[in-house]
């Protein structure tokens, strides 16, 4: 009798990953990263994006400013491609000094407005507050400049048909059409994060040495892959995502946007995250998360800790486990970030 689960698992073990981490010295690790990172960028489609958009210069427009007392929330669009006006919220303290830390916060499979403290109706408000999902408000009140972008294929970047039927996202169509052009949803979202960093460095006076990224679920996905590819990100704090590919998206039903063709032939998720070392990394997890099982999270963390040990900074690789399910845990984020960025409170 054919058993699909057994078959899929067997396919994952039919080969040896090309970039499975085996380094024993810092020099070996650096050589491994130098070989792995460009290959990862290629399979994500970032090389194709760079080639296709080599002449594009992103521009940004601010449409609205909201005074929230101690902080300001601005509504912007950044043209990350000629055909992609990407919406984002910029939230900042009213009184700041020069060279403020920047925190980028891509969201997961929720409405983009939640991270900016916006909601529609009491149910959505409780969903936001109960899961501590107003991340950009939290960051601004820590004293940082926060950017909460719309994740590509959500909000205004959905297809017209999905907007009409009020579907939350257009991830499946983003995957299908992107594959035809040698792109992936994760690659396009990483591209957007890099363009936001370019714009912020040129226009906001942020500290180029203090750029962090955090986001939950799909936002954690973008955090891991963006920090692996984009070395300007100095601290990575993925929420409810860091796990193993095999034990999460490889065995549990997930959105199409999670899948990168052939990724397991390169390495497991902890190998991808190893490209972040020695930069500080903090995996935030939920003890009862049903789609990123905690036993697999702990296994992946143990493997990543080995990489950080070879890098000489095991103390910069942490795991925070919240008592709950698939949600954000701010207690796992801001104390960790303060160790590297300071309090950030300039008010």
Query: Which CATH number is 224's domain given?
Result: 3.40.50.1820
- The string of pLDDT tens digits covering residues 130-169 is 999 999 999 999 999 999 999 999 999 999 999 999 999 9
Percent of the chain scoring above 90 in pLDDT: 96
In a domain, 144, yes or no: yes
In a domain, 183, yes or no: yes
97-106, 176-185, 228-237, 314-323: least confidently modelled range: 97-106
Question: What's the first-to-final CA gap in the chain, in angstroms?
Answer: 66
- Predicted pLDDT of residue 54: 96
In a domain, 87, yes or no: no
Q: CA dihedral defined by 284, 285, 291, 293, rounded to 10 degrees?
A: 130
In a domain, 68, yes or no: no
- 248's CB contacts (< 8 A; 6+ apart) are 254, 269, 291, 292, 293, 296
- The string of pLDDT tens digits covering residues 239-266 is 999 999 999 999 999 999 999 999 999 9
In a domain, 157, yes or no: yes
List the domain range (segments joined by +) for residue 108.
24-57+99-338
- Predicted pLDDT of residue 97: 75
Task: Reply yes or no on whether the pLDDT at 305 is more than 60.
Answer: yes
Q: Are 212 and 235 in contact (CB under 8 A)?
A: yes
Cα–Cα distance measured from residue 235 to residue 332, given in angstroms and rounded to the nearest whole number: 13
Task: Reply yes or no on whether the pLDDT at 197 is more than 90.
Answer: yes
Average pLDDT over residues 190-195: 98
Task: Reply yes or no on whether the pLDDT at 347 is more than 50.
Answer: no
Average pLDDT over residues 260-286: 98
At 95, list the tokens.
Answer: 């009184």
In a domain, 66, yes or no: no
Task: Reply yes or no on whether the pLDDT at 33 is more than 80.
Answer: yes
In a domain, 310, yes or no: yes
Average pLDDT over residues 265-274: 98
* Structural domain count, the chain: 1
- Predicted pLDDT of residue 278: 98
Q: Which of 31, 29, 19 is nearest to 310 (CA)?
A: 29
In a domain, 74, yes or no: no
């Amino acid at each position: 009798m054919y058993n699909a689960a057994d078959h899929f698992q067997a396919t994952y073990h039919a080969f040896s990953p090309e970039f499975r981490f085996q380094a024993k010295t810092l020099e070996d690790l650096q050589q491994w990263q130098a070989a792995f990172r460009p290959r990862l960028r290629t399979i994500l489609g970032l090389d194709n994006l760079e080639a296709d958009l080599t002449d594009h210069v992103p521009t940004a427009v601010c449409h609205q400013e909201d005074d929230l007392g101690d902080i300001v929330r601005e509504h912007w669009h950044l043209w990350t491609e000629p055909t992609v006006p990407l919406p984002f919220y910029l939230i900042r303290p009213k009184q700041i000094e020069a060279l403020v830390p920047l925190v980028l916060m891509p969201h997961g499979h929720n409405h983009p407005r939640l991270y900016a403290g916006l909601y529609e109706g009491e149910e959505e408000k409780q969903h936001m507050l109960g899961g501590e999902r107003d991340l950009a408000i939290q960051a601004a009140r820590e004293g940082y400049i926060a950017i909460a972008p719309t994740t590509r294929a959500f909000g205004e970047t959905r297809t017209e048909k999905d907007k009409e039927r009020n579907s939350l996202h257009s991830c499946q169509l983003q995957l299908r059409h992107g594959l035809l052009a040698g792109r992936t949803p994760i690659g396009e979202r990483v591209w957007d994060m890099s363009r936001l960093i370019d714009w912020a460095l040129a226009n906001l006076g942020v500290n180029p040495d203090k750029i962090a990224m955090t986001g939950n679920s799909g936002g954690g996905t973008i955090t891991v892959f963006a920090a692996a590819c984009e070395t300007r990100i100095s601290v990575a704090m993925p929420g409810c995502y860091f796990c193993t590919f095999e034990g999460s998206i490889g065995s549990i039903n997930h959105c199409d946007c999670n899948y990168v063709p052939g990724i397991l032939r390169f390495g497991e998720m902890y190998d991808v995250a190893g490209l972040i070392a020695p930069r500080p990394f903090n995996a935030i997890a939920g003890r009862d998360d049903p789609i990123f099982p905690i036993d697999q999270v702990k296994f992946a963390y143990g493997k990543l800790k080995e990489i950080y040990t070879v890098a000489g900074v095991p103390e910069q690789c942490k795991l925070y486990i919240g008592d709950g399910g698939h949600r954000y845990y701010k207690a796992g984020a801001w104390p960790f970030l303060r160790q590297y960025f300071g309090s950030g409170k300039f008010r």
